[in-house]
Amino acid sequence: MRTLRLISILLLALLLTACGWQAATSVEEAGRAPAPAGGPAGAPMPELMATAAPASIDETYGDVASSAAAPPAQPGAQRLVIKTASLTVEVEDVAVAEARISARAAELGGYVVSAQSSGSDTASRVALITFRVPAQRFDEALAGVEGLARKVFSRTISGDDVTEEFVDLESRLRNLEATRDRLLDLMARATRVEDALQVNQALSDVQGQIEQIQGRMKYLQQSAAFSAISVELRPVPPPPAIIEEDAWQPLRVARTALRDLVSFGQELVNLGIVILIWSPVWLPILLLARWGWLRLSGRHRRATT
């Protein structure tokens, strides 16, 4: 019975801590990943949560709730700022500039995250390269990229301060680790199989939350330690072509005139062939018209005489 009461106190403290964590993180930016709630730790054992806490607890475990719900005061933490930059530049040779940027990132202690390119020849090749460098060498990396450019079309620098989120995660982690240690102690002292199973379930939930928070903290630390820079490389457009007027070339004119004359003769021959083929149609009409005209002319002459 004493073990069940202690488990209830632990789970109640864990639930209160999780509720406080959710309230604190609800005002953070939408892009931040919220910390997991502590509710699942108490969900597998509803009968234990329903058990009323005793009015007095042994001094050995009397500080379980207070140690899990109230973390120690936080000292002044170093600011964690995730810096990113985006540039669009014009370079003489896209392939050469891309290779130099990759080499420069390695020299500064960074690495290339991704690189994409399109276009087969130098005049049409376009590349997009993203790399990370240590945050303290961020400005040096930007200056190196701009030094390769003939023209800078756009330059955007942004920073995301994640210090508050990181401090909240640290506090949450300490609370969960304290709860885990208490659960381990209770498991070591459990004398019944039912108690051991219940404590083990709660311990698994707490451990899962600890690992999730540790992963998020590691991501924030790495993102703040290495700044990301994305560069779009565009080639210098070729100069406009100069159109020169053609000089007088009499031979070309003669060839053109002869070609036109031959074409005209061909058209005349084609016309004669068409007229000949259609003669059964137009010849009777022409003869009939001629006969009619001659008859009318004869009548007119007889009438005048």
**What gap in Å lies between CA 92 and CA 235, rounded to an integer?**
6
Decide if pLDDT at 27 tops 80: no
Q: 175 is written with which tokens?
A: 């609370």
Lowest mean pLDDT segment, chosen from 16-25, 132-141, 158-167, 287-296: 16-25
The residue that leads in pLDDT, 222 or 119, is 222
Lowest mean pLDDT segment, chosen from 12-16, 39-43, 137-141: 39-43
> Under a CB-based contact definition with an 8 Å cutoff, are residues 81 and 27 in contact?
no
**What gap in Å lies between CA 270 and CA 167, rounded to an integer?**
95
pLDDT computed for residue 77 by the predictor: 53
- In tens, the pLDDT along 230-281 reads 999 999 888 776 655 567 788 888 899 999 999 999 999 999 999 999 989 8
> Under a CB-based contact definition with an 8 Å cutoff, are residues 159 and 79 in contact?
no
Exposure string over 84-97, b if 16+ CB within 10 A, otherwise e: bbebbbbbeebeeb
- In tens, the pLDDT along 137-146 reads 999 999 999 9
C-alpha closest to that of 174 among 271, 73, 286, 258: 73
- pLDDT above 90: percentage of residues in the chain: 48
Q: How many residues does the chain have?
A: 305
C-alpha closest to that of 181 among 73, 57, 68, 74: 68
Q: How far is CA 160 from the centre of its chain?
A: 17
